[in-house]
Amino acid sequence: MSKDFVLKKGLDIPVAGEAELRVSKTTAPGIVAVEPTVFKGFLPRLLVKEGDPVLCGSPVMADKKNPDILLASPVSGTVREIVRGEKRKLLCVLVESDGKRQCVDFGVREASGLDDAQVRDALLRSGLWPWLVQRPYGIVADPAVRPRDIFISAFSTAPLAADAAFCFGKDAAAAQAGVDALSKLTDGKVHVSIPADGPESPFASLTGCELHRFSGKHPAGNVGVQISHIAPIRKGDTVWTVSPAGLVAIGKLFTTGRYDVARKVAVTGPMAFAPAYIEAVPGMPMREIASFCGNSEGLRVVSGDILSGRTVGREGYLGFFDNQITLVREGTDKELLGWIRPLRFNQFSADRSYFSWLLPKKKYAMDTNLHGGPRAFLMNDGYYARVLPMDIYPVFLAKACLAGEIEKMERFGIYEVLPEDLATCEFVDPSKNNIQDMIEKGIDLMLKEMA
Amino acid sequence: MNKIFEKGGKLYWLHSTVDAFETFLHVPGTVTRKGSHVRDAIDLKRILILVVIAAVPAALFGMWNVGYQHGLAVGDPRLNILGNWWYGFLRVLPLYLVSYIVGLGIEFACSQIRGEEVSEGYLVSGFFIPLIVPVDIPLWMLALAVAFAVIFGKEVFGGTGMNIVNPAILTRAFLFFSYPNYMSGSDCWIHYKPAEKLVDGFTGATPLALDGASAQYGTGFWDLFIGTVPGSVGETSVLAILLGAAILIWTGIASWKIMAGGVLGALLVGAIGDLAGISTIPCYMQLLYGGFAFGIVFMATDPVTSAQTECGKWIYGLLIGALCIMVRLFNPGYAEGMMLAILLCNVFAPLIDHCVISAHLSRREKKRQTA
């Protein structure tokens, strides 16, 4: 059965630098990083020391609260260095690859023939468990919980996002195995959302799950937005989400017996030379994509999309969940009387006081300039709600988070959102508030108070 | 920015001021640190300057009208359009100077105390204030009223964006209740010097207070629509205000729902007045009289002090329109009710939003329970 959802609100941000649909490079990094910091709610405990040999799929860290949850090495080789930051906070474990990609053999199994304990055990042991993200709060899922439903958004509407049909075109069988496995973990359903238009999704033929078709502008492809339309999260509900890359990785664990998180990554953005796809593993150093960056000064390297990705810098590493890298220029130059110039055709604005609406097809070489000074919220809620296809009052929620009022945050829907869902609101905000950061702090407060 | 203005520098106490002028000249080179890496080109400066531009037709017409009304009053219609405008400009300019010097001075000082950048909010309030007061208001009164409104209407709440009532309306309310002689009656709306000889049958009353009596100016539909009648400086011309409304609605800065709600509310109460025989003027004429048009287009739609929710905007607009006409029809003391209606609804806006949101959330919750 499939349902169609047409979302009217939203905003597609026309950034230049879309990746061409070809793989221009297969990276074989000498060193990869296993970073615990990208997993919210994961407190790392080291399982290896420097010099230890590891295989692809060997555990490197475990969660302190829940020692069954493991992070695994994506390559085989030896542990090179354990990097710590302030107060000895564990930042990452660097693994030197031997280039052989020897894998731990977890055994090929038919996912549909297993029971829930076996599936859970297989995911935990293999280090694939952290792909499961719990809502509310966006933390690593708790293995002791049976979620109400599991949601997968099989596409992304983020600016310049990797094309799902291109990335996962050959992975339909693995995705099916992934759905079979995940369906054991919930009493409810596995919901998969695919785009209503465009090329046929490789996930369109999945069985054993509920298929939904979504069309609309960003953030229509965000799983949080989809959940709020399919079956909203109410107080007390717990649901899990998995990205399509995670679904395929989980499927491959059962079809090949291996920990395989290699993926196609789109290198995009206005500053990328010949933007295209690369084959990579998470934790790949950004040095590997130097050929896309050139020597330009003032470059921001973002792991993820331009709205919600992390700034990692040229010396950083590809994030675990990311299949996109965005290269964008630091906009540190001052623009003379910019705000009053009537035309400003090279700047994109969703507001009608500029003339971007005259050029709907134009792509803009955006930079990171804030385009104004930070102010208190001035425009009213509707100004933000027009880019958020959820039944939520974004300004009221953001203000409740600022004030730290738990009851109001609950009322205004903190359980339904992650910061990424309000990214378009943050983009259009003329007061230049960091709305995503406000939501993040609100969620942290909820985690602390509700624990 | 020069080093001496930075933290620890000698002139750090001027930091907000320098920063305000610098960002006025340049879009600053600051980059995003958190969250979305790219941002929309829109900022508050752009939005607020558009509001000012939208009010420019009303201001220009108002200046001309000051000269024109003076000419009618002294029976000297010799001046041409430009001459009338220049005459009015010289009368209105001091109001603008006082409004901006006092208001911006306080705004800069308060921003410095809070350690924030200077917000652009007062650019708009300061532009509106001279347009909603009588042209002959003594300057010291205006200065006092502006100081009161900016400090107690805005800064004590934390500056632009945090205020409950519109500072421009508060300025007018302060004048209205403190110095009623200068704000109502028939001596303040037309500028003339005591020595000047006035025409026979002269009246200084606005059409609303005239109540059908004859005057040296026309009081027909088109006179009111174009605005060749006495009144506060910028409020008389419905035509000029509609031009501004078109800009505001097109850019989406002001809510058309509030404006439409206001018009509906006014028509509704006006029609009841007509049917019950209380009112002597047809209800649609109520939209042209007094400060209704200026208030509903520029004052009621202030995004900070109006209702935030879409449904709330309708209720808020309806209430303002209805209250305004109610004061006009049922209160013998005040000829005009727009200012009071907006002030009251500013205070009620958070309550309206609260009710709208509560109703929406409980309806949604019910739907989810049955689903």
pLDDT 10s digits, A178-216 = 999 999 999 999 999 999 887 788 898 899 999 999 999
Residue A337 amino acid letter: L
How far is the alpha carbon of B93 from chain A, nearest alpha carbon, in Å? 23
Q: Scanning every residue of chain A, which has its alpha carbon at the shortest distance from the alpha carbon of B53?
A: A340
Residues from chain B contacting residue A372 (CB–CB below 8 Å): 27-28, 39, 42-46
Q: Is A107 on the interface with B (CB under 8 A)?
A: no
Residues from chain A contacting residue B29 (CB–CB below 8 Å): 331-334, 369
Alpha-carbon distance of A149 to A123, in angstroms, equals 18
pLDDT tens profile A285-307:
999 898 888 777 889 999 999 99
Q: What pLDDT does B158 receive?
A: 86
The residue-averaged pLDDT of A212-228 equals 93
- The residue among B335 and A212 whose pLDDT is bigger is A212
The answer, yes or no, to whether residue B28 has pLDDT greater than 80, is no
Contact B35 A344 (CB under 8 A): no
* Site from B31, B34, B37 to mutate, A interface, most A CB atoms within 10 angstroms: B37
In CATH, A29-97 is 2.40.50.100: yes
Q: What pLDDT does A2 receive?
A: 59
How far is the alpha carbon of A183 from chain B, nearest alpha carbon, in Å? 22
Contact B38 A373 (CB under 8 A): no
- The residue among B220 and A259 whose pLDDT is bigger is A259
Segment 150-209 of chain B within 8 Å of chain A by CB: 158-162
Q: What pLDDT does B205 receive?
A: 80
Alpha-carbon distance of A65 to B265, in angstroms, equals 61
Residue B9's pLDDT band (cuts 50, 70, 90): low
Give the pairing type, strands A44-46 and A31-34: unpaired
Please say whether the beta carbons of A424 and A307 come within 8 A. yes
The answer, yes or no, to whether residue A308 has pLDDT greater than 60, is yes
Contact B31 A368 (CB under 8 A): yes
Contact A378 B23 (CB under 8 A): no
* Site from B1, B17, B19, B42 to mutate, A interface, most A CB atoms within 10 angstroms: B42
- The residue among B331 and A12 whose pLDDT is bigger is A12
Nearest partner of B48 among A373, A384, A346, A334, judged by Cα: A373
Out of B27, B40, B368, the one facing A234 most closely (by C-beta) is B368
User: CB B275: neighbour CB atoms within 10 A?
Assistant: 10
From-to residues of CATH 3.40.50 in chain A: 3-14+107-256
pLDDT tens profile B337-366:
899 999 999 999 999 999 999 999 998 888
Contact B32 A336 (CB under 8 A): no
SS3 readout for A318-378: CCCCCCEEEEEECCCCCEECHHHCCCCCCCCCCCCCCCHHHCCCCCECCECECCCCCCCCC
Beta strand segments in chain B, E: 26-27
pLDDT tens profile B312-329:
999 999 999 999 999 988
The answer, yes or no, to whether residue A250 has pLDDT greater than 90, is yes
Q: Scanning every residue of chain A, which has its alpha carbon at the shortest distance from the alpha carbon of B257?
A: A382
Average pLDDT, chain A: 90
Segment 394-413 of chain A within 8 Å of chain B by CB: 395-396, 411
The answer, yes or no, to whether residue B18 has pLDDT greater than 80, is no
Residue A64's pLDDT band (cuts 50, 70, 90): very high
- At the second CATH level, the architecture of A3-14+107-256 is 3-Layer(aba) Sandwich (3.40)
Stretch among A113-127, B175-189, B198-212, B339-353 having the lowest mean pLDDT: B198-212
The answer, yes or no, to whether residue B1 has pLDDT greater than 60, is no
From-to residues of CATH 3.10.20 in chain A: 264-358
Q: Is B46 on the interface with A (CB under 8 A)?
A: yes
Q: Is A336 on the interface with B (CB under 8 A)?
A: yes
CATH code of A264-358, in short, is 3.10.20
Alpha-carbon distance of A223 to A226, in angstroms, equals 5
How far is the alpha carbon of B197 from chain A, nearest alpha carbon, in Å? 46
From-to residues of CATH 2.40.50.100 in chain A: 29-97
- DSSP track, A86-126: GGG-EEEEEEEE-SS--B-------GGGS-HHHHHHHHHHH
Contact B38 A332 (CB under 8 A): no
* Site from A9, A379, A420 to mutate, B interface, most B CB atoms within 10 angstroms: A379
The residue-averaged pLDDT of A409-423 equals 92
- The residue among A14 and A28 whose pLDDT is bigger is A14
Residues from chain A contacting residue B364 (CB–CB below 8 Å): 391
How far is the alpha carbon of A408 from chain B, nearest alpha carbon, in Å? 11
